[in-house]
Amino acid sequence: MTLAQAVQQAAQTLAGQGISNTRLDAELILSYVLDRNRAWLITHFQDALGEDEQKVFEGLVLRRAQHEPLQHILGRQEFWGLDFKVTPDVLIPRPETEQIIESALGIARQTNSRITLLDLCTGSGCIAVSLAHELASSRIIATDASPEALTVAQENAARHKVTDRVTFLQGDLFAPLEMLDIREQIDIIVTNPPYIQSGDLSTLQPEVRDYEPEMALIAGPEGTEIGTAIIRQAPAFLKQGGTLIMEMGIGQANELSVVVNKTGAYNALEVLKDLAGIERVIVARKA
């Protein structure tokens, strides 16, 4: 069997199970098995696939056919141009979350001083590590309730050589900060918290519903419970003029904007739309 034939056969298998991007997924899985990039694969399609490699490839294709996320099979996901380890213990980084990085960098680069950032619900650490990679003089604290997620995040920090700039703490939202005496000392709080309604879990794609950690997805019956808690608690830790940058779910902008205004703690509010025109990130500056 040639590499081209293997890819074609795999794509057909995946299509039969309702998988999208079947050929791309097949090529990426085969590239992973051969430890080659796609450019090499495309120029060697007529090469023969070894018997042992074929068995491994077919096994991974069957996992993808069961809707296991490609990122779990490959063990990685690109985010902000960096390669991140992902496991079933963390949410797979999404492209729309890069908007948090863009916004935070825009604010951070307006000051010449060393800034302190806090990343809540850090998961894989993609936000904290990306910002540490961009802001060499920054100090970043990242929290998560899951010790398994923090293990992955720490590995990603080591992978990108920013371990000395990111402190990981285990606990729910701001709770781990109580021991640090850091109230009103944080310049920017960034977060991609859970924001899906508990009743919507069954409607999610099987790749999400069956394989990603529920605690990283579900916020509660309304979907805004965790976002609301963050908005209300953040001012106690932000400096005067400090900024909260938070991702949110579809249709949550109005409700969360009301929460921001009702606190009386913020004097500037902006809602950012993603490339699809969806209101995705809320930016609120402490008065």
Give the CATH number for residue 61.
1.10.8
**Dist CA 222 CA 103 (whole Å):** 26
Which of 42, 66, 90 finishes a domain? 66
Q: Which of 79, 60, 81 is nearest to 14 (CA)?
A: 60
In DSSP notation, 179-246 reads GTT-TT-EEEEEE----EEGGGGGGS-HHHHTTS-GGGTEEESSS-HHHHHHHHHGGGTEEEEEEEEE
pLDDT above 80 for 112: no
Domain-located, residue 206:
yes
Domain that includes residue 8, residue range:
3-66
Q: Kindly report the pTM of this predicted structure.
A: 0.95
Residue 181's pLDDT is what? 86
Name the pairing type of β-strands 82-85 and 76-79.
antiparallel
Query: Residues 138-159: what's their mean pLDDT?
Result: 98
Domain-located, residue 33:
yes
**Dist CA 32 CA 73 (whole Å):** 9
Number of domains in the chain: 2
- In this structure, the answer to whether residues 21 and 92 fall within a common structural domain is no
Domain-located, residue 71:
no
pLDDT above 80 for 40: yes
Kindly indicate the confidence band of residue 180, based on its pLDDT and cuts at 50, 70 and 90. confident
Which of 66, 87, 110 finishes a domain? 66
109 or 134, greater pLDDT: 134
- In this structure, the answer to whether residues 30 and 96 fall within a common structural domain is no
Domain-located, residue 39:
yes
Cβ atoms within 10 Å of 171's Cβ, excluding its own:
15
Domain-located, residue 196:
yes
Query: Residues 242-253: what's their mean pLDDT?
Result: 97
Which of 44, 66, 88 finishes a domain? 66
pLDDT above 90 for 179: no
- In this structure, the answer to whether residues 213 and 247 fall within a common structural domain is yes
- In this structure, the answer to whether residues 266 and 208 fall within a common structural domain is yes
Query: Residues 259-267: what's their mean pLDDT?
Result: 97
Residue 130's pLDDT is what? 98
- Span 194-234, pLDDT tens digits: 999 999 999 999 999 999 999 999 999 999 999 999 999 99
- In this structure, the answer to whether residues 107 and 212 fall within a common structural domain is yes
